Amino acid sequence: MELEGRLDSAVSLPEVLQFVGMNRLTGSLTVTHGEKVVRIGIRAGRVVNSSSVERPRKLGYMLVTRGLVSRRDVEEAILKQERSLRQPPLGDLLVDQGLLTREQLSQAIRLQVEEEVYDLFALREGTFKFEHSSEQEVGPAVVELDVDRLVMEGARREDEWARIVKNIPSEAAVPSVVRVGGRADLDIDNLTPDEWRVLSLINGFSTVESICQRSGVGRFETCRILNSFLAAGLIRLEKETAPVEPPVAGPPVMMQGMKGESGPNTPRPKASQPGTTSARLLALFSRRRDVPQPDGGVPAAAPPPEPEPALHYPNSVACLTDLTNNLIRRLVSDPNFYTGQADDHLAEQCWRTAVTVCPRADLVTASGNRLDSGRFDRFVERAGVEGAFKGSYAETLEAVTRCLKMLYVLAAQRLGPKAAHDLFSQAFDEWRRRATIMLLADFTFDDLTAKVFG
């Protein structure tokens, strides 16, 4: 028997879960909202796992942001997991290596599953489907959550959210500390560990959304803590202005026909297809080369090439994001590389993975096939690269380098190692010649080449 329907004003997800819990059913509840699909495993009416647990990088990100393990340990464990035939869970690998206790792992997974369920409670539309299955088909019981408690906590959170959004109407706002103490309604010396963790992330340039992602205590709890700080006068919110679209660097001839993002309806001519621009120009060039000169003399020498215009960047991250965007445009315009609509979001895919490893790099954003460093550049101009912003700068530089590395590996798989190496080497050499970077901050193209090709 299956239970399915639409989420709307008449049927809510908490009601569906309560029905499943009351009847102590066992199976999988799948919730779909647009492109988002979440599966919740239920055993005898209790939530025991969710699809987020199956994504090791999401769990690894939470463990790192909570300070339980290092980023390097998570990366090495994921690499070991991918190479193993048995594919053991990431958490078990970290516990077996003595990097994490079983209790710490259980608490992190519980928070991860709870946050996913609470996010679903906020849905006002979508579809749901519950399918009965055996306990083995449900999967391992990584947690055991009582449905009634989840529903009651979800209702409490919904009421409190209504109060929070009055003070924090946008997650693009930037909180900053205005005083360190002195208010009776907030005892700064007796903050909880979670409150200290959130306070440590308030630096005057990270947005509310960024702090929520990096706090490791969940979106609701982070906003609740920020709201208490606001009420106590410890912080203030500054509205984040929308980033200005920077001009695309590079000579006009390089950008012809590349200003829009590539998509499924964009014509992609084959390289050797007769009648394409490149083929017609090549044929025209060949004919002109064979045409005799009117005076029978030696053809006039071609005029010297015009010098390449310089590319000016305020910092090394801005330079590398523009280089990345240029390489992505070259790759997706190659019919031997482009495989379909998924490649229209390469920048988003690579950047999502890079920020999972380098969470403080989230001032740079990705949309479609373009990285945008506009907000990052403004903070560099305001704060420099020393002090509180130094770690974020270094981590952002590393994230963009990782993004280039992922693109290079993908290009080597599709185009072949030599073609990929030639393409990236040409781009690196071009940027080395033409780029003028005002603030280098320990960046060199030699280091970049070694990290991407190494």
Tally of domains in the chain: 3
Percent of the chain at pLDDT > 90 equals 11
Whether residue 145 is found in the same domain as residue 9: yes
* CA 107 to chain CA centroid, nearest Å: 24
Whether residue 55 is found in the same domain as residue 189: no
Last residue of one domain, picked from the residues 130, 157, 184: 157
- For the ranges 111-115, 137-141, 143-147, 323-327, which has the lowest average pLDDT? 137-141
More confident residue, 383 or 210: 210
Q: Residue 306 falls within a domain, yes or no? A: no
Q: Residue 255 falls within a domain, yes or no? A: no
pLDDT for 84 equals 76
Last residue of one domain, picked from the residues 157, 191, 222: 157
Q: Report if pTM > 0.75.
A: no
Range of the domain at 393: 311-453
Mean pLDDT of 370-396: 82
pLDDT at 129 over 50: yes
Whether residue 178 is found in the same domain as residue 151: no
Closest CA to 378 of 214, 246, 250: 246
Whether residue 21 is found in the same domain as residue 144: yes
Whether residue 127 is found in the same domain as residue 188: no
Whether residue 342 is found in the same domain as residue 429: yes
Whether residue 6 is found in the same domain as residue 128: yes
Burial group, residue 186, by CB count within 10 angstroms (0-12, 13-18, 19+):
middle
Whether residue 55 is found in the same domain as residue 104: yes
Span 183-207, pLDDT tens digits: 445 566 678 888 888 888 887 778 8
Whether residue 146 is found in the same domain as residue 194: no
Q: Residue 290 falls within a domain, yes or no? A: no
Whether residue 212 is found in the same domain as residue 127: no
pLDDT at 245 over 60: no
Q: How far apart are CA 56 and CA 192, in angstroms?
A: 28
pLDDT for 35 equals 79
Whether residue 206 is found in the same domain as residue 344: no
CATH number at residue 195: 1.10.10
Q: Residue 299 falls within a domain, yes or no? A: no
pLDDT at 43 over 80: yes
Strands 311-313 and 435-437, sheet pairing: parallel
Last residue of one domain, picked from the residues 177, 206, 238: 238
